[in-house]
């Protein structure tokens, strides 16, 4: 993959220790320890000055992500192949490029999807291959359609993400998007509260699989379906069938917020 963007870093222990503390875990991460799945998102972050922040708190569009004339931008889903765990102390490189841009007319007006590929590697070779789907919508786009969540889970955990948890996760991922901390901005975009990060929900699903299920994924994909707001209980759900797992997030009102699948290692 010929990169359009490259970031290098020595994987420090602090972000993993901070995430463990945020989840009220006693886990410690010494040199050489493996990071749990999706905790790689705390590393090789693209830093940008305040002068390059857009009105929504994201980095302004261009030159890496294209400006398509649709100002609302969110992470819609992703796909992952985990070759090996990322480890504390490793020298890691993230190479990234835009793979595809698709524009179309949806039920709520113009919409676009941008697919970005990330390849993570260390001295021994590939660690994680990742594809990220970003959705662009117009400023006044109405909420999308919703559907009821399944109820046949065999693993589950119900929790509530408050503003402090959202703040910590935003800080750990250098995410300035105002929907996670600015209530007035959320109201202007049609949300009834602060929005829980989609990547955080995906991370918590794999945390459920790892902690309650005792399994790790070799492949994983997720799709965001409806927002979860702060201070509102939601349930992480999983059903393991052989070497695969179906995972989802069910909101308090029964709506499915996220759908995911994992191939188990």
Query: What's the token pair of residue 17?
Result: 């220790």
CATH superfamily placement of domain 5-264 = Hotdog Thioesterase (3.10.129.10)
Digit-by-digit pLDDT tens for the chain (265 residues) are 445 899 999 999 999 999 999 999 999 999 999 999 999 999 999 898 999 998 999 888 777 788 888 888 888 999 999 999 999 999 999 999 999 999 988 777 899 999 999 999 999 999 999 999 999 888 888 888 899 999 999 999 999 999 999 999 999 999 999 999 999 999 999 999 999 999 999 999 999 999 999 999 999 999 999 999 999 999 999 999 999 999 999 999 999 999 999 999 9
Residue whose C-alpha is closest to residue 207's, from 63, 16, 61: 16
Q: Cα(first)–Cα(last) distance of the chain, in Å?
A: 25
């Amino acid at each position: 993959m010929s990169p359009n963007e490259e970031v290098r870093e020595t994987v420090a222990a602090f972000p993993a220790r901070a995430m463990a503390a945020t989840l009220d875990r006693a886990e410690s991460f010494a040199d050489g320890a493996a990071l749990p799945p999706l905790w790689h998102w705390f590393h090789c972050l693209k830093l940008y000055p305040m002068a390059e922040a857009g009105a929504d708190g994201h980095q302004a569009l261009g030159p890496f992500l294209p400006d398509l004339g649709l100002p609302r931008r969110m992470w819609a889903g992703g796909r992952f192949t985990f070759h090996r765990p990322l480890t504390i102390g490793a020298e890691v490189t993230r190479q990234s490029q835009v793979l595809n841009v698709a524009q179309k007319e949806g039920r709520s007006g113009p919409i676009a999807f941008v697919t970005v590929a990330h390849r993570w590697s260390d001295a021994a070779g590939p660690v994680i291959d990742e594809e990220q789907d970003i959705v662009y919508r117009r400023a006044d786009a109405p909420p999308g359609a919703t559907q009821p969540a399944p109820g046949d889970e065999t693993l589950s955990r119900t929790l509530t993400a408050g503003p402090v948890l959202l703040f910590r996760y935003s800080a750990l991922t250098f995410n300035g998007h105002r929907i996670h901390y600015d209530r007035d901005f959320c109201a202007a975009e049609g949300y009834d509260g602060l929005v829980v990060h989609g990547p955080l929900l995906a991370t918590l699903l794999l945390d459920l699989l790892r902690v309650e299920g005792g399994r790790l994924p070799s492949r994983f994909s997720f799709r965001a379906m409806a927002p979860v707001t702060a201070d509102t209980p939601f349930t992480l759900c999983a059903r393991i069938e052989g070497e695969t797992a179906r995972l989802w997030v069910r909101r308090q009102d029964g709506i499915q917020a996220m759908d995911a699948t994992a191939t188990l290692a």
